[in-house]
Amino acid sequence: MAVLDVTWAVKWLTLSAQAMAEHRAYLIELDRAIGDSDHGENMDRGFQAVLDKLSETPPGTPGVALKLTAMTLMSKVGGAAGPLYGTAFLRAATSLGESAEIDPAALANALAAARDGIVARGKAEPGDKTMVDAWTPAAEAARKAAVDGDVLAVLVAAAEAAEAGAVATDPLVARKGRASYLGERSAGHRDPGAASSALILRAAVGAAA
Amino acid sequence: MAVLDVTWAVKWLTLSAQAMAEHRAYLIELDRAIGDSDHGENMDRGFQAVLDKLSETPPGTPGVALKLTAMTLMSKVGGAAGPLYGTAFLRAATSLGESAEIDPAALANALAAARDGIVARGKAEPGDKTMVDAWTPAAEAARKAAVDGDVLAVLVAAAEAAEAGAVATDPLVARKGRASYLGERSAGHRDPGAASSALILRAAVGAAA
Amino acid sequence: MKKLINDPRAVVEESVQGFGLAHANLVTVSTDPTFITRNDAPVSGKVGLVSGGGSGHEPLHAGFVGRGMLDAAVPGAVFTSPTPDQILPATLAVNAGAGVVHIVKNYTGDVLNFETAGELAEAEGVSVRTVLVNDDVAVEDSLYTAGRRGVGGTVLVEKIAGAAAERGDDLEAVAAIGERVNANVCTMGVALSACTVPHAGTPSFDLAEDEIEIGIGIHGEPGRHRIPMENADGITDRLLEPVISDLGIASGDRVLLFVNGMGGTPLSELYIIYRRAAQVLSERGASVKRSLVGNYITSLEMQGCSISVLRLDDELTDLWDAPVHTAALRWGV
Amino acid sequence: MKKLINDPRAVVEESVQGFGLAHANLVTVSTDPTFITRNDAPVSGKVGLVSGGGSGHEPLHAGFVGRGMLDAAVPGAVFTSPTPDQILPATLAVNAGAGVVHIVKNYTGDVLNFETAGELAEAEGVSVRTVLVNDDVAVEDSLYTAGRRGVGGTVLVEKIAGAAAERGDDLEAVAAIGERVNANVCTMGVALSACTVPHAGTPSFDLAEDEIEIGIGIHGEPGRHRIPMENADGITDRLLEPVISDLGIASGDRVLLFVNGMGGTPLSELYIIYRRAAQVLSERGASVKRSLVGNYITSLEMQGCSISVLRLDDELTDLWDAPVHTAALRWGV
Ligand SMILES: Nc1ncnc2c1ncn2[C@@H]1O[C@H](COP(=O)(O)OP(=O)(O)O)[C@@H](O)[C@H]1O
Ligand SMILES: Nc1ncnc2c1ncn2[C@@H]1O[C@H](COP(=O)(O)OP(=O)(O)O)[C@@H](O)[C@H]1O
Ligand SMILES: [Mg+2]
Ligand SMILES: [Mg+2]
Ligand SMILES: [Mg+2]
Ligand SMILES: [Mg+2]
C-alpha cells in the first residue's frame, strides 16, 4: 500500500525533474507553436534546481519538500510558469501543514489548494487554455476519488484527469498568457503549461506505485 | 561593306547596352562567385545612361560618341569597372580624333589605346584575371588583322580574341581586383569584367554586320 | 542554428559579462543573481528606475542603464522574464530612499514576477510603483487576451521616466510621467523571418519565402496574421495606420517617430520605412519633431521592424532631449 | 529575397532620403548626384573630411557625418563605389579653404574613383590628401592581391581624424593622424551567413548549416577559407590571433577593442565575442582602455562580426574621447 510520506514527496519531485528533462524538447515545441519556445527549458532548469536543493537540505515532511520546491521554482523558472507553479506548490505545502503522512482527503485538499493558487495568481478561468485546464479537472477528480479511494486512487484520478484536461486544450482559443495574442490561431495546439502539469501529476503516481 | 562611321558607333553602343541588359543576371552571377554581385547591375545602369545621353546629344563623329560614353560610364557605373571602362573609351576616343570614318589601322590603334588605358589605370598585367585578359588579346588580334583585313575582319578578330581571352580567365588565380582576396578559390570562375568586355566587342561586330 | 555563442545555456551570463567589461565605466554587473546597475547607484535623493524582462531584446534593458535612464536592468533567460530573487536585490540596490519605479512590459510572466518582487521590496520598506507598458496595437481584443503587450514604447518610457527621475521628480511624479508616455505611444511590428532561441535550436516559426507576419511581439512568437510579402511602403502603411488611428493622431499633433529594427534587418531598410512613415504622418498634418531609428528592442536576429509613434507635449519633448548616458542611447553628455 | 524595400534600384536613394528626414538637424542630403554633408559645412577654417564607398554598410558612412567626424559622405550603389561626379561636388561643398582629406577604403573601385575626383578637385584649386585604409589582416599576400582591404578600422580612422580636423589641425596633420590610426589598427572578420544584394536577389555565397567563412570583407564576398562551425570563443581566438600578431601587441600596450556586427547578428552575441577578446588581450598583458561594440560597418543583413584592435597612445585616446555628434556615434555633446 502506498504511503505518501516525505520519501514519496522527494521521489515525486525527482520523477518530475526526470520528466521535465525528458520532455524538455516536447514542451519547447508546444511553446514554439503558440508561445515563445521556452517552457521546456524553464521547467527543466527549475526542476534541476529543485533536485539540487533537495539534496542540499533534505526535507523532513512532505510539506517542507513542497515549500522548498515552491521557493526554488519561483526563483529559477521565471516567465509565467515560475510564479504560477511556485504558488501552486506553496499553497499545497501550506494545506499539508506539518503532517508526516498524507491521507486521501488531505491529498485532495492540497491539490485543490494548488489549483486555487494558480487561479488566484493568474486570473485564468477554465477554458482559457492554460494550466488551469489541467489542474481544475485534476482537483475535481481527486475530490471525488478521495470519498472512498486510497491515496493511490486519488493520485491516479488526478493524473488521468489532468492528462485529459491537457488534451482538451487542443481545440481551445487561448484567452490568457502568451498564446492569447495569437487569437484564433492558437486553436489546434496543446497548451504547454497544461502538458507540463499533466507530466508532474503523472510523476506523483509513479512515485507512489 | 561595313563603314565605321558615327551611325556604326551609335549602333555599337546601343547593341552594347542591349547586351548588358540581356546578360545582366549572368554578369551578376559571375561577380557573385568571386566578387560582390554587382558587375551586371553596374554595367546595365551605365549603358542605359549612355543610351539616354546619346539620344539627348546625338554625336557627330565616332570619337564624340565614344567620349560621351566614357564620361557617362565614369559617372554612372562606379566600382572598379566604371573608371576602367571610362578610361578605355576615353583613350579610344582620343585615338580616333575627329575623323568621321574609321579605317582598319585607326580601329586597331583605338583598341590598343583602350587596352593601354585600362592597364595604365588599373595596373593589372595579363594573367591577373581581369578585363585586361580580354582586351590584350583583342588589341593584339586587331593589330594583326588590320595588316590586310577590312574593318569587319578587324572587329571579328578582336571579338573572337576577347571571347577566348575571357574563357581563358577561368583557371586563373586572380591577382587584381576584388577576386584577388579569394586567393586560390578564385580559380575555376570566369572574370566578370573580361566577360563584359567580350560582350561589348561582340556588339561592335553586330553593329558592323 | 548558427550563432556566435558557446553553451546555449550560458548565453545570458556570458553576454552580460561582456557587456560589463565593455562598459565598466558605466555599469556594474552583479552575478548570482544577475542584474546590472549604474555605477553610481543608489543616486542620493533620486527615485530609482528598474526594468527587466527576458533576454534576447538587446540593447534593451541593460543598454539603457546609466545617467538619465535606468538605474538597474534585470535580465531573465532568453525570452523568459526574470525572477523575484533577481528583481528584489536590484530594487534594493538602487533605492536611495526616494522609492523605486518598476517599468514592466505587459506579459503575464513579467507582471507576476515583478509583482512578487515589488511586494517583497515593500515588505523591506521600499516604496515601489509599477508602470505597465502596453503599447502594442496588434493585440486587438484585450478583453480576450492577456492585454496589449509592451513593445517599442518601452524604450521611450524608460528614457522619459529616466529623465524625470534624474531632474528630481518624486516617486508618484516619475510613475505618472511613465504612464503618460505609455498612454501616448502605440506600436506595431512585422517579421520577415523568425528568430531562433538558443536553447530551442529551431526557428520560432516557419514562414514561407513570400509571407510575412503582421502584428508580432518581441518574443519570436507568431503574429496576429500572415500575409503575402509586400513592398516597404505597403508594409509601413499597414503598420502605421492602426497606430495613428488608435492614438487618434490629428492635424497639428507633434510626435516622435521611432522605427525599430528587430535585430536582423539592415539599418538602410529601417530608413526606407522611416521615410514613408514620416511622409504619411506629414500628410496627416502631424509634425515629426523627434526621431529614433535603429535596433533598440529586438528579437535576437529576427528580420523585421516596428513603428512607434509617441504624441509629444512640451514636457515630454524636454525630457526626451534631456542628457542621457547609457551604452545604447547617449546625448547631451 | 525578403527585404523592407520598394524598388531594388531605389534602395540607396530612398534610404538616404529617410536618413535625411530623420536627421535633418544634423545633415543635408544632396541629390543628383547624391551625397550627404553636415549642416554647417563648410566649417570655416576647418579641414574637410570626406569618405564614401558602396552602400550596404550602414551606418557607415552617412551615419558618421557631423561634428567631430565626417563633413561629407558619398554613397554609391549597393557594394559599388561612388563615382567622381558625386565625390567632386561633396569635396567642393566641404572645402573651407583648408583643404579636404579623402578617407578611402582600399578597394580598386574606391581608389580609382576617389583618385579621379581628387585630381578634378585639385584642378579646381582644392588641396586634397588621401588616407587609404587597409586594416584587413585576412588578406595575406598583398603582393598578389589588390592589397589589404579597408574594413572595421575605417570607423576608427574617421572618428579620430575627424577629431583632429575639429580641433584645428591642418591638412597634412589630419592626414597624418588618419594614417597613424590606419598603421595601428588591424581587423579580421567572420561570416555565419551570406547577405543578399537587392539587385542580385540571391545570397552572395552559399554556406552549409555547419560552415563559416573566415576572413570575409564587407561586400558579401566569400572569405579566404571556410571551416566547420565553432563556438564563440574558438572563433574569437581565430580572428584575434592574426590581429594581435600583425600589430605586434605586447605587454603594456594600451588598446581600443572594437567588436563590429555585420548587420544580422544580435548585439548579445557581439558581447560574447567581446568578452573573450578582452580576456585574451588581458592575458597578453594588453590593457583595453576603450571599447566599441555594435553594428557600425556592416554587410547588409549578414550574420557575423569583425574584431578590430587599435593600439592607442595619449593623443589617439584624447582624439577618440573628443566630442562627436553624428547619427550613429555621439558623445560629449
Ligand atoms: N494567466 C495564466 N493563468 C494560468 N496559467 C497561465 C497563465 N498565463 C500563462 N499560463 C501558463 O503558462 C504557460 C507558459 O509558461 P512559460 O512558457 O514557461 O512562460 P512564458 O509564457 O512567460 O514564456 C502556458 O502554457 C500556460 O499554461
Ligand atoms: N586593377 C584592375 N585592372 C583591370 N581590371 C580590373 C582591375 N580590378 C578590377 N578589374 C575588373 O573589374 C571587374 C569588376 O567590376 P565591378 O564588379 O563592376 O566592380 P567592383 O569590383 O568594384 O565591384 C573585374 O571583373 C575585373 O575585370
Ligand atoms: Mg513560454
Ligand atoms: Mg563587383
Ligand atoms: Mg517566455
Ligand atoms: Mg562592387
> What gap in Å lies between CA C111 and CA A64, rounded to an integer?
27
Q: How far is the CA of A40 from the centre of ligand 3 (A)?
A: 8
Question: What is the pLDDT averaged over residues C80-106?
Answer: 98
State whether residue C83 sits within 8 Å of chain A by CB.
yes
pLDDT value for A66: 98
Per-residue confidence at C224, pLDDT binned at 50, 70, 90?
confident
Catalytic residue (choose from D23, D57, D61, D102): D57
Please count the CA atoms within 13 angstroms of the CA of C225 that sit on its side-chain side: 7
First to last CA, chain C: 40
CATH homologous superfamily of B6-208 equals: DhaL domain (1.25.40.340)
Task: Identify the burial level of A85 via C-beta atoms within 10 angstroms of its C-beta, where 0-12 means exposed, 13-18 middle and 19 or more buried.
Answer: buried
Q: Give catalytic status of residue D57 as yes or no.
A: yes
Per-residue confidence at C33, pLDDT binned at 50, 70, 90?
very high
pLDDT value for A4: 97
Question: What is the pLDDT averaged over residues C192-208?
Answer: 93
**Per-domain boundaries in chain A:** 6-208
In this complex, the residue of C268, C304, C333 whose CB is nearest that of residue D15 is C268
Q: Which residue is closest in CA terms to ligand 2's atom 2?
A: B122
Instruction: Find how far residue C129's CA is from the centre of its chain.
Output: 18
Beta-bridge partners for C311: C255
> What gap in Å lies between CA C310 and CA C300, rounded to an integer?
25
Closest CA–CA distance from residue D75 to any residue of chain C (Å): 12
pLDDT value for D143: 72
DSSP 8-state class, residue B102: B
State whether residue A37 sits within 8 Å of chain C by CB.
yes
In this complex, the residue of A28, A78, A180 whose CB is nearest that of residue C200 is A28
> What gap in Å lies between CA A12 and CA A166, rounded to an integer?
20
Q: Which of B23, B28, B34, B29 is nearest to B189 (CA)?
A: B34
Cα angle, residue B204 at apex, residues B203 and B206 outer, rounded to 5°:
60
* Length of chain C (residues): 333
Q: Is the CB of C52 under 6 A from ligand 1?
A: no
Closest CA–CA distance from residue A53 to any residue of chain C (Å): 16
Choose, out of A29, A36, A84, A85, the residue to mutate when testing the contact with C (most C CBs < 10 Å): A36
> What gap in Å lies between CA D267 and CA C165, rounded to an integer?
28
Q: How far is the CA of A145 from the centre of ligand 3 (A)?
A: 33
- pLDDT reading at C141 higher than 90: no
> What gap in Å lies between CA D153 and CA D103, rounded to an integer?
11
Q: How far is the CA of D63 from the centre of ligand 3 (A)?
A: 37
Residue D250 phi, psi (nearest 5):
-125, 165
Q: Which residue is closest in CA terms to ligand 1's atom 23?
A: A79
Query: What string of DSSP letters covers B40-79?
Result: HHHHHHHHHHHHHHHHHS--SSHHHHHHHHHHHHHHHT-T
Q: Do A175 and C222 touch (CB under 8 A)?
A: no
Q: Give catalytic status of residue D225 as yes or no.
A: no
Query: What phi-psi label fits residue D168: left (phi over 0), alpha (psi between -120 and 50 degrees) or beta?
Result: left
Report residue B83 as a C-alpha cell.
Answer: 573608371
Instruction: State pTM to two decimals.
Output: 0.96
- pLDDT reading at D86 higher than 90: yes
Chains D, C in contact: 3+ Cβ pairs under 8 A? yes
In this complex, the residue of C5, C265, C270 whose CB is nearest that of residue D272 is C5
pLDDT value for C15: 98
For residue range C52-76, list pLDDT tens digits in order. 999 999 999 999 999 999 999 999 9
> What gap in Å lies between CA D304 and CA D223, rounded to an integer?
12
Q: Do A35 and C221 touch (CB under 8 A)?
A: yes
Residue of C nearest to A25 (CA): C200
Question: What is the pLDDT averaged over residues C139-158?
Answer: 89
Q: How many CB pairs under 8 A join C and D?
A: 187
pLDDT value for B71: 97
> What gap in Å lies between CA D224 and CA D205, rounded to an integer?
13
Q: Do B181 and D149 touch (CB under 8 A)?
A: yes
Which of residues 123 through 152 in chain A touch C, CB cutoff 8 A? Answer: none
Please list the rounded mean pLDDT of every run of 10 residues in chain A (209 residues): 94 98 97 95 98 97 98 96 97 97 98 98 97 98 97 98 98 95 93 98 97
Q: How far is the CA of D31 from the centre of ligand 1 (A)?
A: 53
Residue of D nearest to B124 (CA): D146
The yes/no answer to whether this complex scores an ipTM above 0.90 is: yes
Question: At B37, is the secondary structure helix, strand, or coil?
Answer: coil
pLDDT value for A56: 97
Identity of residue D12: V
Report chain D's mean pLDDT, rounded to a whole number: 96
- Distances in whole angstroms, Cα of residue D88 to Cα of each of B74, B127, D42, D52: 13, 34, 14, 12
**Per-domain boundaries in chain D:** 10-168, 185-311
pLDDT beneath 50, residues of chain B: none
> What gap in Å lies between CA B141 and CA C35, rounded to an integer?
74
CATH architecture of D185-311: 2-Layer Sandwich (3.30)
- Where does ligand 2 bind, in terms of residues with CB under 6 Å? B 31, 35-36, 38-39, 42, 79-81, 84, 118, 122-124, 130-132, 176-178, 191-194; D 80-81, 108-109
pLDDT value for D203: 92
> What gap in Å lies between CA A161 and CA A142, rounded to an integer?
9
For residue range C157-184, list pLDDT tens digits in order. 999 999 999 999 999 999 999 999 999 9
Per-residue confidence at C144, pLDDT binned at 50, 70, 90?
confident
pLDDT value for C171: 98
- pLDDT reading at D142 higher than 80: no
Q: Which of D92, D113, D93 is nearest to D37 (CA)?
A: D93
Q: Is the CB of A34 under 6 A from ligand 1?
A: no
- Distances in whole angstroms, Cα of residue C215 to Cα of each of A129, C190, C225, C266: 21, 6, 7, 20
> What gap in Å lies between CA C101 and CA C95, rounded to an integer?
10
Closest CA–CA distance from residue D135 to any residue of chain B (Å): 14
For residue range D161-190, list pLDDT tens digits in order. 999 999 999 999 999 999 999 999 999 999
DSSP 8-state class, residue D89: H
State whether residue B180 sits within 8 Å of chain D by CB.
yes
Q: How far is the CA of B77 from the centre of ligand 6 (A)?
A: 10
pLDDT value for C54: 97
Q: How many CB pairs under 8 A join A and C?
A: 123
> What gap in Å lies between CA B138 and CA B208, rounded to an integer?
17
Residues of D in contact with B84 (CB under 8 A): 112
- pLDDT reading at C149 higher than 90: yes
| Residue to probe by mutation, ligand 1, list A123, A130, A169, A190, most atoms within 8 Å of CB | A130
- The share of chain A scoring above pLDDT 90, in percent, equals 97
Instruction: Find how far residue B5's CA is from the centre of its chain.
Output: 18
Q: C259 with D4: CB under 8 angstroms?
A: no
Longest dimension (CA), chain B: 47
pLDDT value for B119: 98
pLDDT value for A15: 98
Q: Which residue is closest in CA terms to ligand 2's atom 8?
A: B177
Closest CA–CA distance from residue D53 to any residue of chain C (Å): 14
Torsion of the alpha carbons at C82, C88, C94 and C98, rounded to the nearest 10: 130
> What gap in Å lies between CA A108 and CA B193, rounded to an integer?
81
Which CATH class for the C10-168 domain? alpha beta
For residue range A15-53, list pLDDT tens digits in order. 999 999 999 999 999 999 999 999 999 999 999 999 999
Query: What string of DSSP letters covers chain A?
Result: ---BSHHHHHHHHHHHHHHHHHTHHHHHHHHHHHS-S-HHHHHHHHHHHHHHHHHHS--SSHHHHHHHHHHHHHHHT-TTHHHHHHHHHHHHHHHHTT-SSB-HHHHHHHHHHHHHHHHHHH---TTSSSTHHHHHHHHHHHHHHHTT--HHHHHHHHHHHHHHHHHTTTTPPP-SSGGGGGGGGGTTS--HHHHHHHHHHHHHHHHH-
Neighbours of chain D (3+ CB pairs under 8 A): B, C
Per-residue confidence at D36, pLDDT binned at 50, 70, 90?
very high
> What gap in Å lies between CA C323 and CA D32, rounded to an integer?
37
> What gap in Å lies between CA A27 and CA A77, rounded to an integer?
14
Report residue B117 as a C-alpha cell.
Answer: 588605358
Residue C58 phi, psi (nearest 5):
-55, 145
| Residue to probe by mutation, ligand 2, list B47, B176, B190, B197, most atoms within 8 Å of CB | B176
Q: Do C77 and A32 touch (CB under 8 A)?
A: no
- pLDDT reading at C1 higher than 90: no
Q: In this structure, which ligand is nearest to the CA of C146?
A: 1
Q: Is the CB of A192 under 6 A from ligand 1?
A: yes
Q: In this structure, which ligand is nearest to the CA of B178?
A: 2
